[in-house]
A and B are shown apart, each in its own frame.
Chain A
Amino acid sequence: MNNKHSIKNSISSTKKEFFLSIQARMRIFFGLLFAIMLVIVGLSIMYGIPFTPFKGEYRQHKSVALQKISLVANLKKDSLLLWMKERRGDAEALSESGEIRSCVKELSTAIRKYNASGINGDSLWTNVQNEKSYRYLVQRMNLIKDIYGAYNRIRIADASTGLIIASTHNEELGTDITNQDFFHNALQPGVREIIDIDNDLSAEEFYLYISRSINFEDAEQKNIAVIIMHINPDDFIRPMLHTGGGLGKTGEAILVNQDARILTSLKYPLADGSTAKLLEYKMIDKPAMLAAHGEQGMTVSVDYRGEPVLAAYRHIRITSELGWGLVVKTDKAEALVAIKNDKISFIIISLACVLLVVGLVTLIANRISRPIRKLTQTAQQVEKGNFNVHSSVTTSDEIGVLSRMFNSMIQRINERTAEIKTMNESLEQRIAKRTAELTKANEELLKMQKLESVGVLAGGIAHDFNNNLQSILSYVTLAKSYANPEDEVQEKLEEVKKLIFQSKSLTQQLLTFSKGGEPVKNTISISKLIKDSASLSLSGSNIRCELVLPDCDCLIEADKGQMNQVFNNLFINADHAMQDGGNIRVWAENINVVEKDLLPVEEGNYVKITIKDHGTGIPQKHLQKIFDPYFSTKQKGSGLGLATTYSIIKKHDGHIDVESEVGVGTVFHIYLPASRLKTQKTPTPSKAEGVRPEYIGGKEASGTLKGKVLLMEDEDIIKLVVTQHLRNLEYEVETAEEGSKAIELYNKAIETGKPFNAVIMDLTIPGGMGGKETIERLLEIDPEVMAIVTSGYANDPIMAEFNKYGFSGVLAKPYEIDELDETLQKVIMGNS
């Protein structure tokens, strides 16, 4: 069913396409146009052009046919009139003949004698026939009858008795015709001749009578007899009307009387098949009626058979009393056969012409549409995606031009397609690469987010933890000072201190990769940094480090400590990966990073450091996690090493990535922003490094003490232990719980002329003025104030960039006495 439907649709579509094709449309258009033109021309030729003298063949033919039939009718009428004239002439000749008159007189006299002698009946007429006059009369009448062949009979009746006294038919002698119109009308005064049609006395048949009186020659012209000529119209007139041609095959001449009753037999049976009877059948068709009523003309009508005919009708006036109608007709089909033939010829010629035109148009259309079809087929191929085609149309006309343009277009499309293909491939590669980078960046971001979240947590923990460690350290330090130096407790306490600083290291690492721990950057040589770090980290191991470093161009802006931590971690990891020893190859180079390098760093100059080991390698599944905090495959690993490394590098606006293959080794690539300084310069003493002439000269340590120090600390135990340590270190110490007290003491010290040499202040004072606000106030009081900031919250930005906030030194809790002393001395001495 579906197939049928599909086939039907396909056929319908093909048909539609065919009718929409140029060739079909040209054929239909020109064929129709020509056909219409032919129809118009044909109709014009056939029926004429309205409002012009050209009336057309049909009218002309019809006119000619009508004129022809009219002419025939005139001829028939003239013939009939002439014939009638002859017949009347015959009657006149007989009636006016002296011999006839004499014979009639003689015969009448003889008859009267016979009557007088008592001879009547058949004997009378037998005797009459023997009369010389009778024989003469009959001879003359027969002569007339035979010569002209137009009479059925001729008779002479006695004017006084009305009896037939002479006749071409002897048997009717003695017949009384007194009551016959043609007899007594002929005897009317002034009337010489009667012509009429009437039934014969003795038969049903009717005759045309021409009766004429035979008169005496005297002045009174008294009637002697009447001569009557009998003519059967059907016997004599009809053949005459149908001779002479002009009527054609279907033509017919019909004679009717004044009532339109037929006087001559019809050629055809009536519509009902019967035969029309003479003088009974009345013609009701228009021509006959008109002719009978005295009209003459021509018309197109329908005859007694119901056939369309062209007819000419004539009125034949025989006497003032007697008139006949003559209808000469011929079938329209025959009369207009010429026009019919013309029509057929025209139709055949027209059809032939239309076919010829359609054929020619087809040829022309083919010539026009063939290249178009070819071009269309080529275009269809192109539409289907086949561009390896070529239009073969090479004509020099518009289509040829179009074809060449088309080919050129295909060529250009091919070229463009190839270009696009190449571009697409490139784009795909770039997209793939970019996608990979984005994935990587996303991973980086995730790592960062992880680190940040861990950092936030770690920072908070580390602050309190460091503070606690500082307190523990303070207590341990205090305990150690109370204990006997030889006591075993000293050793235990020292172990406690080690643990405290191990804990500090742990918190330090936590803080490093956390949000806090901002690097304190200086311009440093990467070469020296790597050498130092390698020698330190690989000291005592069976690993040989091959360093390929540039001379002095690889300068970076970095936190030396954090960088040491980075390289230490990497070298230690390499060492661990190569249990059986081996080479670590390290090289550094200056590179310029551009966008297309697709590195997750800003464009610019970088120092790229590559560390390659030949260790066990990292499985692929671990590669994505090695920079995650607390991810470690080592049993004793903290899981913070590479996380810290990663965090440090990111905080230096750099990038680290790793390639590894299990069993082959691992390669770390580190990108660090290059310093703008081209060469490492010998560090010039900074303001901080320089001796504060003023301070060193004006703020001399009082007495023998190293200096006067103000300690701002809210934790009592720390305050107590640090104060003690400072005093042990020969510093004069005053303490304050929070900032306002510290400011007060600082002002007081200035006022008393014994200003503090340094201020150690905790960054965070719960419920009181912290270090940040206090230093701002102190700097207002004394712009040259020397302050050291301390905090267990080592990731605070102030701790990283203490100089920016006006501090001269920094101590991250927990700190040792030595560290305190060293920092204090540097600050006081202007070496921080």
Chain B
Amino acid sequence: MKLKIISVFQIVYLIWQVFIAFPNTGYTESITTASVQDLSRHPIYSTYKFSREEGVVNIGVQPLYSPTGFISEAMKRDAILRKSLSELGMKVKFYAFLKGDDVNFFLRRGDLDVGIGGDMPAITAAATMDVIIPTLVQQGFTSVIANRPMLIGELRGKSIGYAFGSNAHYALLRALSSDGLNEKQVKLIPVEVNEMPEALATGRIDAFSAWEPTAAITLSKYSEVAVIHQYLSSGYMYFQKEFSDKHPEIMRQIIAAEIRSIKWMQNDKQNLLKSSKWSIKAGENLTGNEIPLTLEQNASLARNDILGLSSAPIIPKNDLKQNGPLNREFEFLQKLGKIPSSSSWKNVSASFDRKVTNEVLANQKKYRLNEFNFTFKSVIE
């Protein structure tokens, strides 16, 4: 009789275990071939007419990448930059992109001379192209947002939206690995960053990984969602090596414009709010969708990141250390095959050049770092 009772409990327990375990045996899907998409046919990018003129600097920016969007929008309007470049016989054109990997695509094609991207695109660019990465443009959290509060482990078998090759892609992989998961144990669905909030709300995906302000937009729009993981990612401005070698001063002027922009926004909250407005506008122009964030909310996000720092946008020395965050990311991505196994950390780390920005900072007068004139009428190319 006792054996029978035990058997009954064992059966109930086993059935229960099967029920519990079943969702964990969910389907998996590897990363799509988004990386090999021909982005020249992209509905947004196909409209871009990249200037091939010698005297034009083509810069790829990300308005939807806070706070780099603030910085790039300010730089667009930096009359000092225009004037400095003009004195050097150059013009500058800005092109808006949705994510760093897209910037890399056009950098690789030679359509862009300068790009702004997160750490993963920057490392990828350094590993696959000849670039120089002189300055930091962002240091903030990339978030994994789920449709409800949960642990990372509970993402097993779930659909997760991501932007291939972006910071958020790396942040997601890190998050998954932090709880012993890998990308094969979840269903990764490529989603454009601007579509992620709705995709999550409609249940198309159970979670997504994105940077600001996408995360903030989602949180402000849908109260039930939750940030379940964040990773401190960095953003960089990087130049084609050929371009920087050929136009070192132009590179420095552009870096000076970045520093000026940061200082300008730090100096006065109104400047920050102005930049906030510019970045929202740019984002809306890029996606055609309204960004449901107030200027204050948007500004707050930026303040929390690099704009909240008093220090200059110098690439942290610690980040470039062996076993530092960039080194760990390089090895992680290489292990996953996201960057070629032939590339070496030595070459990649060599692409990060802290001296240039230090030189600019050391010549504040020359680069007019304490002068501010953001009255240039921005032209969105």
Contacts and interface: CB of A to CB of B under 8 A. Distances in A.
Interface of A: 19, 28, 32, 36, 39-40, 43, 47, 50-51, 63, 66-67, 88, 92, 188-193, 219-221, 258, 286, 290, 293-300, 315, 317, 319-321, 323
B309 interface: yes
B5 A320 contact: no
A321 B149 contact: no
A50 B310 CA distance: 50
Contacts of B306: 320
Interface string B1-43: 1000100110010001001101100000000000000000000
20 contacts: A28-B1, A47-B16, A47-B20, A51-B23, A63-B148, A190-B312, A190-B358, A190-B362, A190-B364, A293-B325, A294-B231, A295-B174, A295-B175, A297-B175, A299-B152, A300-B151, A317-B139, A317-B232, A319-B311, A321-B317
B75 interface: no
Contacts of A19: 1
Interface string B358-381: 101111110001000000000000
Contacts of A92: 310
Nearest to A294: B232
B20 to A, nearest CB: 7
A485 B361 CA distance: 207
Contacts of A190: 259, 312, 358, 360-362, 364, 369
Given A36-B8, A40-B12, A320 B230 contact: no
A299 B180 CA distance: 12
B318 A295 contact: no
A323 B325 CA distance: 11
Contacts, number: 108
B310 A192 contact: yes
B12 A319 contact: no
A66 B146 CA distance: 15
A50 B9 contact: no
B20 A189 contact: no
Interface of B: 1, 5, 8-9, 12, 16, 19-20, 22-23, 136, 139, 141, 148-152, 174-175, 178-179, 226, 228-233, 259, 306, 309-318, 325, 328, 358, 360-365, 369
The 5 closest A-B pairs by CB, nearest first: A190-B361, A294-B232, A189-B362, A296-B230, A297-B229
B141 to A, nearest CB: 6
B311 A193 contact: yes
A497 to B, nearest CB: 111
A192 B259 CA distance: 14
B365 to A, nearest CB: 7
A290 B178 contact: yes
Given A50-B23, A66-B151, A296 B362 contact: no
A320 B362 contact: no
Choose among A43, A47, A290, A296 the residue with the greatest number of B CB atoms under 10 Å from its CB.
A296
A319 B318 CA distance: 11
Choose among A51, A189, A297, A320 the residue with the greatest number of B CB atoms under 10 Å from its CB.
A320
B1 A286 contact: no
A191 B358 CA distance: 9
Contacts of B16: 43, 47
A39 B12 contact: yes
B364 A296 contact: no
A321 B178 contact: no
Given A297-B228, A320-B309, A36 B12 contact: yes
Contacts of A191: 311-312, 361
A320 B232 contact: no
Given A43-B16, A193-B310, A299-B179, 8 more contacts: A66-B149, A188-B358, A189-B358, A294-B232, A298-B151, A299-B152, A320-B136, A320-B311
A19 B3 CA distance: 14
A320 B310 CA distance: 9
Interface class of chain A by DSSP: mixed
Contacts of B316: 320-321
Contacts of B149: 63, 66-67
Contacts of A40: 12
A300 B22 CA distance: 22
Contacts of B358: 188-190
Contacts of B364: 189-190, 221
Contacts of B152: 297, 299
A296 B178 contact: no
Contacts of B363: 189
A119 to B, nearest CB: 36
Contact of A258 (B136, B318, B361): B318
Contacts of B310: 88, 92, 192-193, 319
B208 to A, nearest CB: 15
Given A32-B5, A191-B311, A321-B318, A295 B229 contact: yes
B219 to A, nearest CB: 13
A56 to B, nearest CB: 10
Nearest to A190: B361
Contacts of A315: 141, 230, 232
Contacts of B226: 67
Contacts of A47: 16, 20
Contacts of B19: 50
Contacts of B229: 295-297
B113 to A, nearest CB: 25
B17 to A, nearest CB: 10
Contacts of B175: 295, 297
Contact of B361 (A189, A193, A294): A189
B361 A321 contact: no
Contacts of A219: 365
Choose among B8, B149, B315, B363 the residue with the greatest number of A CB atoms under 10 Å from its CB.
B149
A579 to B, nearest CB: 95
A67 B361 CA distance: 43
Nearest to B136: A320
Contacts of A66: 149, 151
B231 A39 contact: no
B297 to A, nearest CB: 17
Nearest to B21: A50
A49 B70 CA distance: 47
A92 B311 CA distance: 13
A259 to B, nearest CB: 9
Contacts of B369: 190
A32 B8 contact: yes
Choose among B136, B232, B325, B362 the residue with the greatest number of A CB atoms under 10 Å from its CB.
B232
A40 B23 CA distance: 19
A295 B361 contact: no
A297 B311 contact: no
B314 A295 contact: no
Contacts of A188: 358, 361
A167 B232 CA distance: 37
A191 B361 CA distance: 8
A67 B312 CA distance: 35
B173 to A, nearest CB: 12
Nearest to B15: A40
B147 to A, nearest CB: 11
A448 B48 CA distance: 145
Contacts of B178: 286, 290, 295, 297, 299
A461 B91 CA distance: 174
A189 B358 CA distance: 7
Contacts of B309: 317, 319-320
Contacts of A220: 365
B153 to A, nearest CB: 8
Nearest to A31: B5
A222 B313 CA distance: 21
A146 B178 CA distance: 43
A333 B230 CA distance: 26
Given A189-B362, A319-B311, A294 B325 contact: yes
A520 to B, nearest CB: 95
A50 B22 contact: yes
Contact of B232 (A63, A295, A321): A295
A282 to B, nearest CB: 13
